[in-house]
Amino acid sequence: MSDNTTFDYIVIGGGTAGALMANRLSADRKLRVLLIEAGRKDDYHWIHIPVGYLYCIGNPRTDWLYNTEPDAGLNGRALRYPRGKTLGGCSSINGMIYMRGQSRDYEQWAQLTGDDTWRWNEVLPAFMKHEDHYLGDADQAARRDADFGRFHGHGGEWRVEKQRLRWDILDAFAQAAQEAGIPHSTDFNRGSNEGVGYFQVNQKAGWRWNTAKAFLRPTCYGRPNFEMWTSAQVSRLLFEAQADGTQRCTGVQVWDGHEMVQAQATREVLLCAGAIGTPQILQLSGIGAADLLQAQGITPVADLPGVGANLQDHLQIRAVYKINGAPTLNVLASSMVGKARIGLEYLLKRSGPMSMAPSQLGAFTRSSPAHEWPNLEYHVQPLSLDAFGEPLHSFPAFTASVCNLNPTSRGTVRLKSPRFEDAPAIAPNYLSTDEDRQVAADSLRVTRRIAAQPALAKYQPQEWKPGVQYQSDEDLARLAGDIATTIFHPVGTARMGADGDPMAVLDSRLRVRDGRGGRIGGLRVVDASVMPTITSGNTNSPTLMIAEKAAGWLRAEAGTAAA
């Protein structure tokens, strides 16, 4: 920590969005940038070996170890709710799937905010700016199609690769999905992700590619205008009343593990603490629903009921099929010999199950013909278990996990106490609308239709969960509540929205509103919490896109856009 604790920008959270923000802002040597991360550096081997997510989730070295409140839609179950607590944030423990969502998601954001900057054609360049797609590599020229350059970037920091392993059972599932009418897809990232195919992943040569490696390590660490505090948790924001009666965020208060310290920002504080951390910090700082704050003894700075509301997540319903005659991880990893073979393959070739993203095969389709766009995403895995953190089953099986991409259920993140050390109450309220329960039941029927196709017949799939005896809408929705879990995509808890929208926490340029029609100066939120609606896919790369756009605006405002 340097003696001078005054910076141009302070970035709170060195996760997905925060790492990119810190990189882009500190690229201008005239700007002093401080990055504050509650977790430690990402120098832990299981972060970098792809299969290591199994050992990072539930591990205090890398995970905040949150749990949800008991959830009525899940028949009273509470879920483990992992969030990355290390440099790279969730990108250090996530499933590495590279997915932008669907063009309609961004058209909807533009409509909800009244700002065309969020339209698909306007966000596409921000996705591409930091992309380093393997098909752009010189030796891949023959494999590119004519449209590749319209949709993909090369030479940026964010590496996208194809996976390094395939499984017979997943190939058969892909074939069965096509027999059930889902087209084959080689690229889920061109605006419509409809189809079935292997996911592309954020890996480089068989290692996880997190945002710390992409945006911090090669560049920021060597910049004299960049400072980073790790194991440092922001406890609240600092404000000063201005002569015109408005409030300005002037800095942060930080617990450095020994004492409370402060840092000041002359330009802006960027809140990039994620969909749980960001509403928690805002509420601790007096920005939130006034009644909630007062109940915790916190003096409101801005009465914004949208802070911590609008929590949206994808709920994955994990149907398990026992099979015969194909290798699955359940069996391969059950013996010492199998484990040794897996280890050796990774050591020698950086391939095999240790290089495996948790889900390799994906599919996007509709729960019923009434849906104009695909509203379901499949993550198909050559393994099965009762719950993450539990051992693999001893019998050969695959899991066809399906999630509703556009849930209408909304949850909350609310302080339980005014102490920054205490986790907030996370209540996703899964399956709390009739529409979501109907989609859950219909999605399990789509899974059954795929499993019944000829391509899978030779493996004799038997539905182990939820079980063929359950057929009615009511049974299937209830059973979904038993076998479903988060797919780790909380968003929307400090959402942007148009002027006059009482639940909008931010304007469309991510500035924090003051609850009286104005803005709080010097403060923006830049992370997954800003999304008004969840994207129709995995949420990491959309969060990077948001940060790329915000960084562009800040650099333009600082007069250094071209630097």
Ligand X SMILES: Cc1cc2nc3c(=O)[nH]c(=O)nc-3n(C[C@H](O)[C@H](O)[C@H](O)COP(=O)(O)OP(=O)(O)OC[C@H]3O[C@@H](n4cnc5c(N)ncnc54)[C@H](O)[C@@H]3O)c2cc1C
Least Å distance, CB 433 to ligand X, is 23
> Are 18 and 12 in contact, with CB atoms under 8 Å apart?
yes
Half-sphere exposure of 409 (CA within 13 A, CB side): 26
Residues near 403 by beta carbon (within 8 Å), at least 6 away in sequence: 314, 315, 316, 317, 376, 377, 379, 443, 487
Residue 154 annotated in active site: no
234 is in an annotated binding site: yes
Least Å distance, CB 293 to ligand X, is 17
> With respect to ligand X, which residue has the nearer C-beta, 84 or 374?
84
Please give the sequence-ordered ranges of beta strands (E in DSSP) within 292-396, or none if there are none.
302-303, 315-322, 361-365, 376-381
- Cα distance between residue 478 and residue 480, in whole Å: 5
CB atoms within 10 A of CB 140: 14
Q: Pull the structure tokens for residue 473.
A: 């809408």
User: Left, alpha or beta for 352 (phi > 0: left; psi -120 to 50: alpha)?
Assistant: left
Strands 158-160 and 511-513: unpaired
**Which DSSP category does 299 fall into?**
P
Least Å distance, CB 544 to ligand X, is 8
> With respect to ligand X, which residue has the nearer C-beta, 176 or 272?
272
> With respect to ligand X, which residue has the nearer C-beta, 131 or 442?
131
> With respect to ligand X, which residue has the nearer C-beta, 55 or 553?
55
- Chain CA centroid to CA 162, Å: 20
> With respect to ligand X, which residue has the nearer C-beta, 12 or 441?
12
Least Å distance, CB 272 to ligand X, is 5
In 221-354, where does DSSP find H-type helix? 274-284, 290-295, 329-332, 336-349
> With respect to ligand X, which residue has the nearer C-beta, 81 or 459?
81
Can you give the C-alpha Rg of the chain in angstroms? 23
Least Å distance, CB 92 to ligand X, is 8
Least Å distance, CB 452 to ligand X, is 28
Q: Which of 130, 152, 393, 489 is catalytic?
A: 489
- Cα distance between residue 276 and residue 274, in whole Å: 6
Binding site for ligand X (CB under 6 A): 12-18, 36-39, 57, 82-85, 89-91, 93-97, 99, 233-234, 272-275, 277, 281, 488-489, 527-528, 538-541, 543
Position closest to ligand X via CB: 15
> Are 89 and 211 in contact, with CB atoms under 8 Å apart?
yes
Annotated binding site for FAD: 234
**Active site amino acids:** 489
